[in-house]
Amino acid sequence: MSELPATELLPLPAAGRTFTAERTARLGDVDPNGAVRLDAVARYLQDVATDDALDAGFSNAMGWLVRRSLIRVATPAVLNERLELTTFCTGFGRSWAERRTTVRGANGAEIDGVSLWVQIDVESGRPARLTDEFVEVYGEAAAGRTVSSKFSLDRSPSPDASPMPNPFRATDLDVFGHLNNAAQWALADVVVQQHGLSRAGIGEIEFVTASQVEGEALVVVGEAGFDAWYGAVGATSTVLRWRPLT
């Protein structure tokens, strides 16, 4: 039976490929208090995944789209902090794979992420089956674990949700013509900043369909964090959830 995707923060594999890279938290990554924003964290995770695939010589290194991600921030990174990112595969299915990433900082940052990536044919944009090449590169680290591609967040906005200004711009579009995965975490960070929520927490995001710049954001905020929905009126394309750590 396949595991639910991108819900568990599994440890480093006992064997198999891991990839490590470094980043420095820059001015464009932080909020007014100097803490690294959620969209910047998502970009780090996205970039190190691509770096890994390119380093492995994977023939379809750019042909992946994120379907679901979870980010756990125990201790936020801060401006100019040097970060070490280690990423590895923790399971896969027919056309998708789960990627786990740890982020540790020289000043004590502790951030973990896990995402489900779908492999696509870059010409057609349609899902493509994983190849023997993928299994050869990442199969040992996955250790036979299989994951599904199911969603787990509620796509229907809460009746208590309120509209908020759309935080996205044309510059947030990627080469596929829709809002980039990392850019969409900006919606979560806007809510965190506006409502003074703790940056220590667990965020989840699911991309139901490709999102466009012209959309509507609905948010409900409470003591237990917030839930948000983005998309065209009556058609959710992105679901977000943030829960502070207790």
pTM score of the predicted model: 0.96
For 148-207, write each residue's pLDDT tens digit: 999 999 999 999 999 999 899 999 998 888 899 999 999 999 999 999 999 999 999 999
Q: Residues 212-241: what's their mean pLDDT?
A: 94
Domains of the chain: residue spans and CATH? 19-142 (3.10.129.10), 162-244 (3.10.129.10)
* Chain segment 36-77, per-residue pLDDT in tens: 999 999 999 999 999 999 999 988 888 899 999 999 999 999
Q: Give Cα separations from 121 to 59, 130, 134, 167 (angstroms).
A: 11, 11, 14, 30
Per-residue pLDDT at 123: 78
How far is Cα 211 from Cα 213, in angstroms, rounded to an integer? 7
Residue 50 has φ and ψ, to the nearest 5°, of -65, -40
Mean pLDDT score, 102-128? 93
pLDDT of residue 126: 87
Q: What are phi and psi of 96, to 5 degrees?
A: -145, 165
Task: Please give the average per-residue pLDDT across 223-239, as a whole number.
Answer: 94
- Mark 85-113 as b/e (b = at least 16 C-beta within 10 Å): bbbbbbbbbebbbbbbbbbbbeeebebbb
Question: Considering just the CA atoms, what is the radius of gyration of the chain in Å?
Answer: 17
Q: What is the pLDDT of residue 156?
A: 95
Instruction: Pick the closest to residue 118 from 147, 100, 96 (CA basis).
Output: 96
Instruction: Please say whether the beta carbons of 218 and 167 come within 8 A.
Output: no
